[in-house]
Structure 1
Amino acid sequence: MDYDTVKRARALAEEVIRQAGAAALERFDKIAELTDKDDYGDVVTEVDHLAEGIILPRIQAEFPSHAIHSEEAGNLGGESDWLWLIDPLDGTNNFAIGLPVFTTSITLMYRREPVLGVIYEPLTDRMFVSAAGEGAACNGLPMRTRPAASLAKANIGWIQGHAVRNDPHAVRLRHHLDVSFKRMMRLWAPSLQWCMLAKGDIDGIVLYNSEGDDLYSGILMVKEAGGIVVDFEGRPFTGMRAEPYLIACHPDDADALLQTVRAGLPPSGSEASA
């Protein structure tokens, strides 16, 4: 891997993500255009496209040989070991109803592994940055996950894919988590939940079949902050997967959180444990 490429990518990502965030902040609570994105209730706003229009041309100009996948524009560029993943407005549904919980996420992958993650929350002016082997920071201050004082009093983030909806296995697991912990959070802005875990503000994440352009920046953020990310079988998560089922937390809590998740799945198992 070319570390100079990662260094240049980081500088560019931090610059353009702040510009995209400023554009989103300027238009917050002033939505003029809102359209349905799919059959699951997801929406897209003019801000999604505006932020994308700020980010994509700069990446294409600076790294013309790199591949890009952006949430609204889809695949851009040819085959490459380098792949940018762009979520121009993570938390669009929140943004659309005036709920101030949203971010922009930029990830750089190298051979299907995240090497750079930059997430910006414009309303709080918090810039979260992680680079492979270099740790994770919020506005320049190092972040570390923390072990839960008690899992019974823990705050656990829940993330599910748009197509999951009321899948009976997901409903069963959500209910089990809701009664097993102090709080089971659903922010509808997954990248922010990953940052909260990396920062030590929440105690864990359970992700149920949710793969998207915001996922890998969050995973890198948590890993570089000393956290652990494993699948429902307890295997370390690496690479990319179309239908991931994951838990993330401080390493000291991994066994207990995994046992709690397994207890919330059907006794006979399910596709989620495959």
Structure 2
Amino acid sequence: MICDTKPNVIKIAKEIAISAALEAGRLAKGWFDKLDNFEEKGDYGDIVTEVDLLTDKLIVNKIQSIFPEHQIDTEESGHNNNESDWLWLVDPLDGTNNYAIGLPLFTCSITLLYQNEPVLGVVYEPVVDRLFVSTLNEGAYCNQKRLFVNKKNDLKKATIGWIQGHKVQQDQRAVHLRQYIDINCKRMMRLWAPTLQWCMLAKGDLDGIILYNSEGADLYSGILMVKEAGGIVIDFEGNTFTGMNSEPYLIACHPDHRDYFIDMVNKGMSSHHYNG
């Protein structure tokens, strides 16, 4: 390994991740609205495009050229089967469904974890040239401007992001929770690009996020972004979320809004009624 101390790894990794995200994002922007076809992936409506594969390869090659011993797990090519304390999670094109239908809401997300805790998150939104970077204990930034989560006086006027996993589909608890949120805030937002919503929360443009069983390469960069912007990320019971979880149910918001969102989730989850 080129550098064997944690601070040095993170410092060099930050440079690599930013470079890779910018290059991948610009490649994606160049191909935007020019694709003729795409392929379905999995059983739940997800898709993959040629650009997903091109950007995935680009990012992996950059990481491997500097950190050949690290674990890398990407949205498209999977895990490289290395064993290491360091794990890279890559979603080269978060928002592929948007991308494929010509909706300019997509990002490139790269996360580095040390012993399953995120220490670096880089998210690039190429259409508007926004580069989000968060480093453990060093804050979160958009184009080098420090980010802070928003504290809203009247949460009835809040805009809340909703994120759910592909497999959730029409799970009745999820359906009723969505409906409850939609009725009890100004706007519930679903973007099909989770990293973008996490960055919006960190930037102060969203007031909270409720995530229902959605885990993947696009999750942990956003969690670090929000935490480093002064937000909290907790589970539905109010416990601080740490590490990794294959089936997360999460709330993210300003610390002062913790009880409000827990109450919202509890009421939304208990509001459903099953027939038969």
Tell me which interval the TM-score lies in, with the shorter structure as reference length. over 0.9
Correspondence 1:209-228 to 2 at 5 A: 209-228=213-232
- Answer yes or no: is the 8 Å Cα contact 1:161–1:210 preserved in 2: yes
Q: Aligned residues, how many?
A: 269
**Residues 84-107 of structure 1: per-residue CA shift (max 9 Å, x gap):** 000010000000000000000000
CA contact (8 A) 1:196 1:202 kept: yes
Indicate if the aligned counterparts of 1:66 and 1:77 stay in contact, CA closer than 8 A.
Answer: no
1:101 aligns with 2:105: yes
Equivalent-residue separation in structure 2 for 1:60 and 1:38 (angstroms): 27
**Separation in 2, partners of 1:75, 1:53:** 13
Q: Give secondary structure in 1 for the equivalent of 2:237.
A: coil
Q: Residues 65 and 77 of structure 1 are in contact (CA less than 8 Å); yes or no, is this contact kept in structure 2?
A: no
Q: Are the aligned partners of 1:32 and 1:46 in contact in 2 as well (CA < 8 Å)?
A: no
In the aligned structure 2, how far is the partner of 1:177 from the partner of 1:73? 35
What does residue 272 of structure 1 align with? none
CA contact (8 A) 2:176 2:271 kept: no
Cα distance in 2 between the residues matched to 1:148 and 1:104: 29
Which residue of structure 2 aligns with residue 76 of structure 1? 80
1:243 equivalent to 2:243? Answer no
1:67-95 deviation digits (Å, cap 9, x = unpaired): 00000100014111000000010000000
SS in 2 for 1:115: strand
Aligned to 2:38: 34
The one-letter amino acid paired with 1:254 is R
Q: Deviations over 1:4-52 (max 9, x none)?
A: 1000000011011100001100000011330000111110000100111
Aligned match of 1:44: 48
Deviations 1:157-207 (A, max 9, x none): 000000001000000100000000000000000000000000001100000
For 2:96, give the aligned amino acid.
T
TM superposition score normalised by structure 1 = 0.96
Q: Secondary structure at the match of 1:195?
A: helix
Q: For residue 224 of structure 1, what is the amino acid of its counterpart?
A: E
Distance 2:88 2:36 in 1: 29
Percent identical among aligned pairs is: 59
Q: In structure 2, what residue type is equivalent to 1:115?
A: V
TM-score normalized with structure 2 length:
0.96
The 2-side partners of 1:189 and 1:77 are apart by: 27
**Structure-2 residue corresponding to 1:271:** none
How many Å apart are 1:251 and its aligned residue?
Answer: 0.4
Partner Cα separation in structure 1 for residue 68 and residue 12 of structure 2: 13
Gapped runs of 5+ residues in structure 1?
269-274
**Following the alignment from structure 1 to structure 2, what is the Cα–Cα distance between the partners of residues 263 and 84?**
37
SS for the counterpart of 1:148 is coil
Residue 267 of structure 1, CA deviation? 6.4
- Which deviations, in whole Å up to 9, do the C-alpha atoms of 1:145-168 show, x marking residues without a partner? 011121100000000000001000
Q: How far apart in 2 are the matches of 1:126 and 1:76?
A: 29
